Amino acid sequence: MRNQRRFVFSLLFIAFLQLFFTQAILAAVDSSSCVTCHTNESLIKSLYKAPPLLHAEEGEG
């Protein structure tokens, strides 16, 4: 009975840890400058510079 309780407690603890770290990682990803800029269409539009056009080339195949 005690072992069973320990097992359930361990499972819950692991699940809690996983949830905590996943949320922490997601929060970090969400607040990074990469996400801040690359999800803001007007900002990206203002920063975008068209690449130089290389010599005319068409696909293979």
Partner 1 sequence: MYKGYIVDRGLLKKDQHFILACPQCHQGNGGILSKEQAHKGLVKRPSDNMSNCAMCHKQVTDKYAKSLHYTTAGQRNGVMPRFSKEELKKFDGKVFEKSCRSCHASCGDCHVKSPAVGGISTGLLAKHKFVRKDEGKTCSSCHGGRVYPEFTGEYGGAPDVHYQKGMLCVDCHKKEQLHGDGIAYTSKNQVKDRPSCRNCHKPGSEKNPAARVSHQTHAGKVSCYGCHSGGEYRNCQQCHAGEGAKAKPQMILGLSPRNKKVLTTLRLVPTVRDTFAKDGIKMENFDALPNYWDTPAHNVRKRTDRTRSCDACHVDRNNFLTKETLIKDGSKANEALIIVPKPIKR
**36 lies in the site for partner 1, by CB under 8 A:** yes
Rank residues 3 and 48 by Cβ distance to partner 1 and give the closer one. Answer: 48
**14 lies in the site for partner 1, by CB under 8 A:** no
Distances (CA, A) of 13 to 6, 19, 27, 35, 43: 10, 10, 21, 31, 42
**24 lies in the site for partner 1, by CB under 8 A:** no
Distances (CA, A) of 40 to 4, 51, 53: 50, 20, 26
Residues in contact with partner 1 by the rule CB under 8 A:
22, 25-26, 28-30, 32-39, 41, 44-45, 47-48, 51-61
